[in-house]
Amino acid sequence: AQTVTQSQPEMSVQEAETVTLSCTYDTSESDYYLFWYKQPPSRQMILVIRQEAYKQQNATENRFSVNFQKAAKSFSLKISDSQLGDAAMYFCASPNQAGTALIFGKGTTLSVSS
Amino acid sequence: NAGVTQTPKFRILKIGQSMTLQCTQDMNHNYMYWYRQDPGMGLKLIYYSVGAGITDKGEVPNGYNVSRSTTEDFPLRLELAAPSQTSVYFCASSYQQGGSGNTIYFGEGSWLTVV
C-alpha cells in the first residue's frame, strides 16, 4: 500500500526564520504529483504547493518551496521568512495506487513565535 | 462561489443511530471524495467517485456507504454509528483525478460525535 510519512509531529520557528518540514512517500509510479496542504485552526484545507515528479526543478510559491529528491522519495517543505499566519498543521500528500485520489501523512503542527 | 458544501457542520449521534452527511459541489467536477480526520491525525480516504454512478472504496470504508446519482451530490451514509466514527469528515472534489495533479477542493468539514 502507498504510504506517506511525516516524521515530525511538531515543529517550531521564530518569525522571519526558515523552517523545513519533512516528508517521505512510497509509490511505484514513475510520474506523479506530490502536494503540501495547510490546515489552520479553522480546519479548512488549503493547497500550499505541488510538485510534478518528472520535473527536475523544485516548485516554489512565494515563501514556500520544496526540496524534492525523487530517488530518495523525499519531499520536504521549506517556509522562508516565517509569519505568525503560517502557524497550522501541514500535510504532505501523494497519489493512491490507482492515482485517483490523495493519501495524506499524519501531519506536522507548526508553531510560530514572535 | 459556493465550491464544496457540506451539511450538517456539527452533529451528535447516539450509538446505533444512522445518518447521512450531505455534500454538493457546483464546479461540475467529475471526482468526489470523502475523508475522515481523527484528532491530531491526517486525512483517511473513505470512499471516492469518478463520476455519476461510479464509486470505489478508499482506505477506511467499513461502516459507511455512498452513492453518486448526480454529478453534484455525493452523500455519505453512516449505518449503526459507533464511537470509533467520531471524527471530522471532509468532502472534496476535483475536475479530474486528484492523484494526477488536479487541484482538490475541500469542504469546510463536518464534526461528528458518537456517544
Rounded (5°) CA angle B68-B85-A43: 80
Omega before residue B75 within 30° of 0, cis: no
Q: Is it the case that residue A29 has pLDDT exceeding 90?
A: no
The phi and psi torsions of A63 (rounded to 5 degrees) equal -85, -5
Is the CB of A105 less than 8 angstroms away from the CB of B42? Answer: yes
**B82: closest CA of chain A, how far (Å):** 23
Q: Is it the case that residue A1 has pLDDT exceeding 70?
A: no
Element (H, E) at B2: none
Q: What is the pLDDT of residues B14-70, one digit of tens each?
A: 999 999 999 999 999 999 999 999 988 889 999 999 999 999 999 999 999 999 999
Of A96, A92, A97, residue with least CA distance to A74: A92
Give the residue numbers in A contacting B (CB under 8 Å), as ranges.
4, 6, 32-33, 42-45, 47, 50, 52, 91, 94-96, 98-107
Question: Measured between alpha carbons, how far is A46 from B106 in angstroms, rounded to an integer?
Answer: 8
**B41: closest CA of chain A, how far (Å):** 5
Q: What is the pLDDT of residues B84-103, one digit of tens each?
A: 999 999 999 998 877 777 88
Instruction: Give the pLDDT score at A51.
Output: 93
Of B57, B8, B51, residue with least CA distance to B28: B51
Q: Which residues pair with B19 in a beta bridge?
A: B78
Q: What is the pLDDT of residues A52-92, one digit of tens each?
A: 988 888 999 999 999 999 999 999 999 999 999 999 999 99
What is the average pLDDT score of chain A?
93
DSSP B36-72: EE-TTS-EEEEEEEEETTEEEE-S--TTEEE--SSSS
